[in-house]
Structure 1
Amino acid sequence: MSSPDSRGLLAGPWYWRKALLWYALAAVIIASDLATKAWALASFEYAQPVEVTPFFDWLLLYNYGAAFSFLSDEGGWQRWFFSGIAFVVSCMLVVWLARIPPKQRWEPVALALILGGALGNLYDRLTLGYVVDFISLHYQQHRWPSFNIADSAICVGAVMLLIDLWRNKDDEPDA
């Protein structure tokens, strides 16, 4: 099925029924992310690590910025800036997922992970004003920035896209 406007952005084949599978995967990521964040908020004191292993803690923190708390010390404008970016990227991912041919698997899984993670963190930004982080990895005194399920899904999806790009680069003839 083609879109009504075959000249514009929405031109080309649309595989909405197949895309529903990828939207469902994104919904599972969102639900998992929100459920684990609710659990963390109910279970832990802010900024008080709970040791699980010598390198892994539960550590409830609020991230007012982006990845690695980038711009977290700004005056609040970043909440709306990052929310806007997440909204626009999510809309683009919804369209991208609908346009992927049904035979492809790797790319839509990657995009669904990124979509679910982006929407999970967007929900936090819009409802709380910050993103809830609670997973902390460390080695001795060196601590990786805390993160959550949404962040993990975004990172795994991004790595999958890079691998897919690298794999497909070998399949394309030189121009």
Structure 2
Amino acid sequence: MKNQYSKKSKKWICITTIISMLILDISSKYCIIKYIKIYEIKKICSILNIFHVHNYGAAFSLLSDQKGWQRWFLSTVSILTVLVITRIIIRSKIKEIKKITAYSLIIAGAMGNLIDRIIYGFVIDFIDLHINNYHFATFNIADCSIFIGIIMLIRLNC
């Protein structure tokens, strides 16, 4: 009986984490598209702007200058990532809750950006962190989810 409860707990953590992050990511991107024009900047505070841009590539706009093939390549990479990590989660032990949560965050981020690529052909980015005139790459909630998941995995394996 306890073993069955553990499997249900693992599934619940995965599903809750993934759905929560997807809702946050999709709703934030919807608000950006609806209320902020492309390339429009809204200053939030001294280090944060909302800046609506479309990323046709991967992280840091890698491959964004290509002719369109990158959309399908990056979509395929996202799908494979989700499938591989899902398999890792299925094979993991319930006591590895932190790892399962980290993997679920990565899946959610990959799925959030995959949804953008499929629907729009690009990823909607809008978080612009900066110090004076130095701007970090513009990113989104899905990217944050992936980043946090990776940091969690690094910390757990150190």
Mapping 1:90-169, distance limit 5 Å: 90-166=82-158
| Equivalent pair of 2:129/2:136 in contact (CA under 8 Å) | yes
TM-score, L = length of structure 2: 0.92
* Residue from 63, 83, 90 that aligns with 2:75: 83
* Residue from 4, 20, 33 that aligns with 1:41: 33
| Equivalent pair of 2:13/2:101 in contact (CA under 8 Å) | no
| Equivalent pair of 1:15/1:99 in contact (CA under 8 Å) | no
TM-superposed deviation, 1:18? 2.1
TM-superposed deviation, 1:19? 2.3
Structure 2 gap ranges (5+) = 1-5
| Equivalent pair of 2:51/2:126 in contact (CA under 8 Å) | yes
Moved runs in structure 1, 4+ residues, more than 4 A?
none
TM-score, L = length of structure 1: 0.84
Which residue in 2 is equivalent to 1:5?
Answer: none
Quick one: distance in 1 between partners of 2:90 and 2:19? 15
TM-superposed deviation, 1:17? 5.5
CA RMSD, 1 decimal: 1.4
Quick one: distance in 2 between partners of 1:16 and 1:71? 40
Which residue in 1 is equivalent to 2:48?
Answer: 56
Q: How many residues align?
A: 153
- 1:67-89 C-alpha deviation (Å, 9 max, x unpaired): 01001010000000000000011
Structure 1 gap ranges (5+) = 1-13, 167-175
| Equivalent pair of 2:99/2:153 in contact (CA under 8 Å) | yes
